[in-house]
Amino acid sequence: MNAMKHAALGILSTVLIAMACCALAQTPRFSVQGEHFLRDGKPFLIRSGEIHYPRVPREYWRDRLHKLRAMGLNTITTYVFWNLHEPEPGQFDFSGNLDIAAFVRTAQEEGLEVIVRPGPYICTELDFGGYPAWLLRTPGLRVRSMDPRYMAASARYLKRVGEELAPLLSTRGGPILMIQVENEYGSYGNDRDYMAAVKQQVIDAGFDTPLFTSDGPHLRLLEGGTLPGVTSVINFDGDANDAQSSFEEFARFRTGVPRMVGEYWDGWFDAWGKPHTSRDTDKVAGAIEWFLANGVSFNLYMAHGGTSFGYLAGANGKLDGSYSADTTSYDYDAPIDEAGRLTPKYHAIRAVIGKHLDAGETLPPMPADARTVSIPRFELAESVSLRDALPILSKPVLSVLPKTMEALGQNYGFVWYRTRLPSTGGKLQVQEVRDYASVLVDGVAQGTLDRRENRHTLSINAKAGATLDLLVENMGRINFDQPLATEYKGITRAVKLDDAELRNWTMYALPLADLSGLAFGNTDTATDEPGFWRGSFKLKKPGDSFLDLRGWGKGHVWVNGHHLGRYWKIGPQQALYLPAPWLRSGRNEVVVLDVEGGAAKRSIGGITDPVYQVADPPAGQ
């Protein structure tokens, strides 16, 4: 009898254990139920901050993530940068600074959950909204539409991202909680078939976590950008009153769902020629206090902005032709600054979150702050004109009419256009320059053309038979609103001299991806034409710094082969962030391209803090 009892108890125990295991298996790690996000079956308030892995040197990923966790966040959010991961059709790169899986794993190791926003469109003040520029090489292709050529490329990209991230999804025990479908589509259009198709592409790519859309709080934006049965989050800035009114407006669209701010803009980006922007710390802290007190999940955009290195920076524009290019710095007035330092905003947010922790939860210890170093001024005594370097940097392409950058198979950088003038100089018209052109006649600078100022004409002094050179710079493709669909670069239509169209062009594509072949020399002659300068400095121990470009004109900087980005004397950004991982003990080489020319010998120094200063406009403007 006892043996039978023991056997029965054993069977019962086995059944109970099996039932418990089954119940656990049926409880998803993350889900959406009614008005709540659930993690392991319990209500979970998302305290997230945005950080983008390509804008932060990989060596600093852990440091920045550790600091965000210590600020009180439990989640981070990142976009996925299609333009970087697929630089040419079918050629994918997830290595080094683009190893998004390693970035997600690092966040998990630091105690953070992850939200991923793969687009395919992502905006984020990024060239072409994160789209690869090669999409524009196909005549007539329309992004953000049901164009089958675009949709096929999008599906291929999303599937490849899915392959990288599948093991890290919450459905497989990983940290990735949610995946965003498209991005603020309500600000662009209202094609529900398109949005449904993107959603299906995301699902087909293997993303089986909860999905969500992200839009402004206004009814028109929500109606255009949301999907039935898909969580909708809203984006805005302002104080606690703005937060309350935004969710009151959202409640007129949807109720009975989790409330979340997909992007709370705790700062803002800068544009060339405009004052540096910021957001009031007290207002930001007050809004976050309101979120926490009212059970609203949030994502701080940005928590750490970093840098739009190289040619990453985008632009804004409208159908009326207006255009405004973004700076290299993406500091964003974020809680953690561009160099990884903790700001007063960081401490204010940490204090607010500390008052609203879950039972038994404590804030991690305060992390050590980052430090920057100064670099004594050093001379750049070697130079070479860009005109002389053309045969080294590029191969000529001949065409009756000027070709766009995309038609030349180029994504970023500059294009040098050259032709012979059939008559004496007069009024030069470029229809249209995208985005900034330096004009030379027989090597003599004549002036500039600037899309920002709608300046597409210039009076030039030239004789018949003279050589006309136009160096056209892509200042960043528009990343928001309708114009992004046709953001071709270089010269997009025609060039005329006194209404006569100029023909028979020689073009040099200049992505400037490899400068190792430049033949520098010493000279004592100043120049007013575009050129490269080279110099070096020595360090005992590398440290973060900001290269002070005050006194220079307009151009780009490379340090030890790393492309820091664009500088421009008009400001507001006057110094470029130089991360220590790109430096070495001993000699460090600096190459500067300045399209305005300059003295034969020039100098640069490294300073400990950024400089924001807008130059006064020239007389008469």
Return d(Cα 149, Cα 147) in angstroms, integer.
6
Q: Which of 86, 184, 473, 596 is catalytic?
A: 184
How far is residue 590 from each of residues 1, 304, 372, 568, measured CA to CA in Å?
89, 27, 19, 17
Return d(Cα 90, Cα 547) in angstroms, integer.
37
**Is 263 an annotated catalytic residue?**
yes
**Is 184 an annotated catalytic residue?**
yes
Closest of 327, 223, 233, 266 to residue 37, by C-alpha: 233
Secondary element (H or E) of residue 517:
none
Answer yes or no: are the C-beta atoms of 75 and 113 closer than 8 Å.
yes
Q: Is residue 86 packed enough to be buried (19+ CB in 10 Å), middle (13-18) or exposed (0-12)?
A: buried
| Residue 193 CB neighbours (<10 A) | 9
Q: Where are the alpha helices (DSSP H) in 71-191?
A: 82-85, 100-109, 148-165
Backbone angles phi, psi at 137, to 5 degrees: -75, -20
Cβ contacts of 369 within 8 Å, gap of 6 or more:
341, 342
Provide the angle, in degrees to the nearest 10, between the axes of the packed helices 100-109 and 148-165: 40
Count of H-run helices and E-run strands, the chain: 11, 33
Q: State the virtual CA torsion across 264, 483, 430, 567 in degrees, nearest 10.
A: 20
Return d(Cα 144, Cα 159) in angstroms, integer.
17
Answer yes or no: are the C-beta atoms of 181 and 225 closer than 8 Å.
no
Please, how many CA atoms are within 13 Å of residue 31, restricted to the half-sphere of its CB? Answer: 9
Return d(Cα 615, Cα 568) in angstroms, integer.
10
Q: Which of 86, 164, 263, 338 is catalytic?
A: 263
DSSP structural state of residue 91: B
Return d(Cα 41, Cα 32) in angstroms, integer.
10
Answer yes or no: are the C-beta atoms of 258 and 35 closer than 8 Å.
yes
String of b and e for 304-334 (b: at least 16 CB within 10 Å)? bbbbbbbbbbbbbbeeeeebbbbbbbbbbbb
Backbone angles phi, psi at 206, to 5 degrees: 100, 5
Return d(Cα 529, Cα 440) in angstroms, integer.
8
Answer yes or no: are the C-beta atoms of 96 and 102 closer than 8 Å.
no
Chain centre to alpha carbon of residue 239: 26
Active-site residues, by number, are: 184, 263
